[in-house]
Amino acid sequence: MVFSSTQQIVLASGNQGKIKEIQAILANHLIVPQSSFNVLEAEETGSTFVENAIIKARNAALQCQLPAIADDSGLIVDALNGAPGVISARYAAVGASDQDNVAKLLQQLEGVPEAHRTARFICIMVFMTNPEDPFPLIAQGVWEGLILNAPIGSNGFGYDPIFWVSSHGCASAELSPVVKNSLSHRGQALRQLTDLIKDREKNFS
C-alpha cells in the first residue's frame, strides 16, 4: 500500500478536535474520518494506549475496508499515579464534557503544590493497511508540562486549558493551532508515523 495523496485513509476517531488537528498535519493526504462511513465506534477495552489504538484502527479498517490510522491519547499526572491515563476522555464519567473532566482533575489536585503538578500528554498512533495487518506501525509522542490551578485560553480541547507549556510560557489552549501541532504529543506521533510508513514502503518495494 502506497501512502500517497491518491489513497484514502480512514481516521478512526469521532473527536472533532483530534480530527481537525490530524487533518491539518496530514493535509497532503486524503484523510477521511470514520464518521463519513457511519462506522460503529470500537469499545476501548484495552488497559494501555497501545492496545486501544490498535483496537480502533482494526475496527475502522474492517468496517471501511481501507487502510486506517487511529490514535489513543491522554494525560498522565504524576501526583495522581498516572491518572487519568487511558480514561482521560471519560475521567469524570462516560460521556463527560471536557469541562467536567477538567473540573474533576483540578479537584483531585487541590492543594498539590506547583512543583508536584508535573504531567505529560501521551499519544500512540497506529497505522494498519487492513484489519488483519500483522505488522501495524506504531508511533508515540510525549509532551511534558504542568497542571495549572485554573483553566486559561480558548484554543484546543480536552485538558489544553490547564496544561502549562513551559517553553512558551502559556497554556496549551493559548497556543495557535500551528504552534501546538509543532509541539504536541499528537504532532510528534503523526510525524513519526509518516516516517515509519515511508520507511516501510522503501523496504517492502
Q: Count of H helices and E strands in the chain?
A: 5, 7
**Judging by DSSP bridges, how do beta strands 8-11 and 68-77 pair with one another?**
parallel
Output the nine-digit C-alpha cell for 90.
Answer: 471519560
64 Cβ neighbours under 8 A, 6+ residues apart: 10, 34, 37, 39
What are the distances in angstroms from CA 157 to CA 20, 55, 63, 180? 11, 23, 28, 12
Task: Give yes or no for a cis peptide into 113 (omega within 30° of 0).
Answer: no
DSSP E strands, 65-136: 68-77, 118-128
Element (H, E) at 116: none
H-type alpha helices, 65-183: 98-108, 177-183
Output the nine-digit C-alpha cell for 126.
Answer: 497506529
Q: Is 100 assigned a catalytic role?
A: no
Among the options 71, 72, 133, 160, which is catalytic?
72
Instruction: Show which residues are catalytic.
Output: 72
